Amino acid sequence: MHPPANDRVNLELLLPEIITVADEASRIILEVYDDPHFTVSFKDDRSPLTLADARSNEHITERLGRLTPAIPVISEESATPPWETRRSWKRLWLLDPLDGTKEFVSRNGEFTVNIALVENGRPILGVMAAPALKILYAAAQGLGAMKRDEQHRTAGIHVSSFHDGLVVAASRSHDRDKMADLLNEWKPREVIYRGSALKMGLVAEGAAHLYPRLGPTMEWDTAAAHCILNEAGGSVTAWDGSELTYNKPDLHNPGFLAFGHPRYPVKA
């Protein structure tokens, strides 16, 4: 399926294609994950990189190029074009071929494939697959959000108000000391620790109410889950209340708060 080479994208047709691409990448990743002898190298910033990252990136980038040849791709594992090139882009793909490499290396299963279509700075399609957990979230603007579970059953998802007490999703690998102070102030009923973008998935499906992020992330870390949470009735904002936007001159995100609706009354 090739969307027409004009100024319109049919999200209803495109979404199942991107789900298929995420499933294909998941199988590629699991081939490496299930090999007890897989090796790890390190990028310049000392973050880990595996063969799974590279193979997933190659496959998804090639598939997106065939599906939507007119839409450029920005990936964590590829060189990012300069702002002078990107500033005129109305649409782009944001790709993290393996989000949560630390979780992959530690073999806890909490890593994801994140694919998002961005239009005018906002995510309008998002697919987030967790290969080892055998779950997948997907959404597109105006079409709602869904989750496919371990038994391959698909159902729509929506955020929860949690009138019986606050449940917070928190990072397994980041911000632990700062988060402890915040949790002491909020006094949640429960804290669920997860890796990668799965924390936003928990909020989108109503299993958690808030996911606070204090440290930096990149746009490809959040765009897919942001779309899913939006379509499930939630929001993702910086701590000053402004919504996260994408394809900025600097692709770093500020700290943010991902929350359901209505927003739980907490202080930033």
Tens place of pLDDT per residue across the chain (268 aa): 444 344 789 999 999 999 999 999 999 999 998 887 776 666 655 555 678 899 999 999 999 999 999 999 999 999 999 999 999 999 999 999 999 888 888 888 999 999 999 999 999 999 999 999 999 999 999 999 999 999 999 999 999 987 788 999 998 776 677 788 888 988 999 999 998 899 999 999 999 999 999 988 999 999 999 999 999 999 999 999 999 999 999 999 999 999 997 665 565 5
CA distances from 117 to 27, 43, 200, 226 (A): 22, 26, 17, 11
**Inter-residue contact 128 to 150 (CB < 8 Å):** no
- The confidence score (pLDDT) of residue 267 equals 56
Report d(CA 182, CA 4) in Å as an integer: 48
**Inter-residue contact 136 to 126 (CB < 8 Å):** no
Domain spans of the chain, in order of start: 11-156, 167-259
What pTM did the predictor assign?
Answer: 0.92
Fold held by 11-156: Fructose-1,6-Bisphosphatase; Chain A, domain 1 (3.30.540)
- The confidence score (pLDDT) of residue 57 equals 96
Q: CA Rg, the chain, in Å?
A: 18
- The confidence score (pLDDT) of residue 43 equals 61
Fold held by 167-259: D-Maltodextrin-Binding Protein; domain 2 (3.40.190)
